[in-house]
């Protein structure tokens, strides 16, 4: 009877090791988009998994505790089996070494491969048991979560950058799947991938610095302004009043071309809209496209002019490779 219980303890340890190892792989391989869609349709399991995806620290703590419990149970069972079958101290030392390949294959390698190949199905199938262990280990997981937050505060490091990186990789995989399924055109995939590469850049990284601004005085004549635009192939011309480093607005070349020769450029100047230097590329391109702005002034948090942001500086990074022919 004792031997049977020891064998069952050994099998339980291998099962828990395989379960937590596989779930850990499935967690990072599963498509969050699919679970979000299923959750919106009312699927409770998917809604629970989405909460785990949004709180990865809790999941990692649960799997860490589970793997340690599994390793302890397996080690204990191996020692007890060696004692009951041989009674030799040497056997107690050799048994874990001899059984290591078995533990590695069935407790680590095989489950990880299975969850790697079918992460969505297996993770959803395992979700009720994951929920059970999440609740069971919650007191210890809460302690680990608190320690993680403490270290984050001391070291000044945040997992947000890692989460963003994982999210971009996952969205890129969605584009690949959409292309294979025939839902997306290759052009749409290229555009999406280009956007992900630059979406997290700040405006200060891509704008034209103050020292490099090419602008004209507001007192410049119409003909000279047109000549200035043609020589530099500018669709929008920055305009300053007293100092070149402090532009106050801009002219649209096309409006100059259709205007009367007697027109004064000060009557045609468009005011700038200001954007913060620390704003992200993804936010500003949506803002400027929705308001049909073609040129914006970039200012720092202190209100100092950092540079100018042209529409081309937002669109050109997106039109690379096969999309280069779309540049104007």
Q: What is the pLDDT along the chain (328 residues), one digit of tens a residue?
A: 677 888 888 888 899 999 999 998 988 888 777 787 788 888 888 888 888 887 787 888 888 899 999 988 888 888 787 777 776 666 667 776 777 778 888 888 899 999 988 888 999 899 999 999 988 988 887 887 777 677 666 665 555 444 545 455 666 666 666 666 666 666 766 776 677 777 778 888 888 898 888 898 888 888 888 899 888 888 888 998 877 777 888 998 888 888 887 778 888 888 888 888 888 887 888 788 777 788 888 998 888 888 899 888 888 777 766 555 555 5
Task: Round to whole Å and give the CA distance between 301 and 80.
Answer: 67
Task: Round to whole Å and give the CA distance between 134 and 55.
Answer: 12
What pLDDT is recorded for position 313? 83
Neighbour tally for 204: CB within 10 Å = 17
Of 121, 139, 155, which residue constitutes the final position of a domain?
Answer: 155
Closest Cα partner for 229 from 265, 263, 203? 265
Same domain, 276 and 239: yes
What pLDDT is recorded for position 189? 67
Same domain, 321 and 213: yes
Same domain, 151 and 14: yes
Contacts of 226 (CB under 8 A, 6+ apart): 253, 256, 257
Helix axes 32-40, 160-181, angle to 10 degrees: 80
Same domain, 121 and 20: yes
Contact between 212 and 313 (Cβ < 8 Å): no
What pLDDT is recorded for position 89? 67
Contacts of 209 (CB under 8 A, 6+ apart): 306, 307
Same domain, 179 and 110: no
Of 155, 186, 218, which residue constitutes the final position of a domain?
Answer: 155
DSSP lists the bridge partners of residue 274 as 297
Same domain, 174 and 235: no
CATH of the domain at 303: 3.10.580.10
What pLDDT is recorded for position 19? 93
Task: Round to whole Å and give the CA distance between 23 and 56.
Answer: 13
Task: Round to whole Å and give the CA distance between 167 and 161.
Answer: 10
Task: Round to whole Å and give the CA distance between 328 and 1.
Answer: 81
Same domain, 122 and 166: no
Contact between 235 and 250 (Cβ < 8 Å): no
Q: Which domain holds residue 171?
A: 162-198
Neighbour tally for 250: CB within 10 Å = 26
Overall pTM surpassing 0.75 (yes/no): no
- The number of domains in the chain is 3
Same domain, 147 and 8: yes
Task: Round to whole Å and give the CA distance between 268 and 224.
Answer: 15
Same domain, 118 and 99: yes
Cα–Cα distances in angstroms (integers) from residue 5 to residues 74, 79, 81, 82, in the given order = 13, 13, 10, 14
What pLDDT is recorded for position 162? 46
Same domain, 27 and 92: yes
Same domain, 227 and 273: yes
Same domain, 117 and 176: no
Contacts of 75 (CB under 8 A, 6+ apart): 13, 96
What pLDDT is recorded for position 165? 52
What pLDDT is recorded for position 132? 92
């Amino acid at each position: 009877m004792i031997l049977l219980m020891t064998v069952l303890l050994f099998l339980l340890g291998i099962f828990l090791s395989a379960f937590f190892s596989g779930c850990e792989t499935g967690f990072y391989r599963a498509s969050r988009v699919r679970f979000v869609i299923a959750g919106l349709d009312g699927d409770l399991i998917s809604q629970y998994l989405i909460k785990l995806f949004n709180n990865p620290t809790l999941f990692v703590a649960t799997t860490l505790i589970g793997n340690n419990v599994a390793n302890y149970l397996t080690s204990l069972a191996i020692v007890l089996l060696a004692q009951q079958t041989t009674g030799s101290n040497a056997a107690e030392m050799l048994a874990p070494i001899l059984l290591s390949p078995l533990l590695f294959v069935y407790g680590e390698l095989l489950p990880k491969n299975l969850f790697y190949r079918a992460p969505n199905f297996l993770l959803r199938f395992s979700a009720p048991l994951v929920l059970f262990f999440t609740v069971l280990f919650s007191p210890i997981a809460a302690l680990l979560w608190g320690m993680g937050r403490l270290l984050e505060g001391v070291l000044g490091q945040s997992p947000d950058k890692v989460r963003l990186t994982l999210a971009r990789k996952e969205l890129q995989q969605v584009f690949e799947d959409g292309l294979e399924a025939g839902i997306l055109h290759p052009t749409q995939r290229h555009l999406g991938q280009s956007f992900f590469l630059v979406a997290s850049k700040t405006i200060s990284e891509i704008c034209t610095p103050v020292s490099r601004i090419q602008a004209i005085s507001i007192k410049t004549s119409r003909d000279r302004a047109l000549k200035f635009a043609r020589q530099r192939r500018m669709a929008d011309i920055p305009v300053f009043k007293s100092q070149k480093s402090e532009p106050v607005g801009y002219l649209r070349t096309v409006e100059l071309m259709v205007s009367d020769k007697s027109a004064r450029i000060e009557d045609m100047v468009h005011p700038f809209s200001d954007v913060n230097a620390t704003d992200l590329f993804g936010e500003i391109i949506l803002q400027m496209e929705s308001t049909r702005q073609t040129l914006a002034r970039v200012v720092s948090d202190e209100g100092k002019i950092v540079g100018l942001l042209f529409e081309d500086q937002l669109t050109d990074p997106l039109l690379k490779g096969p999309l280069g022919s779309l540049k104007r």
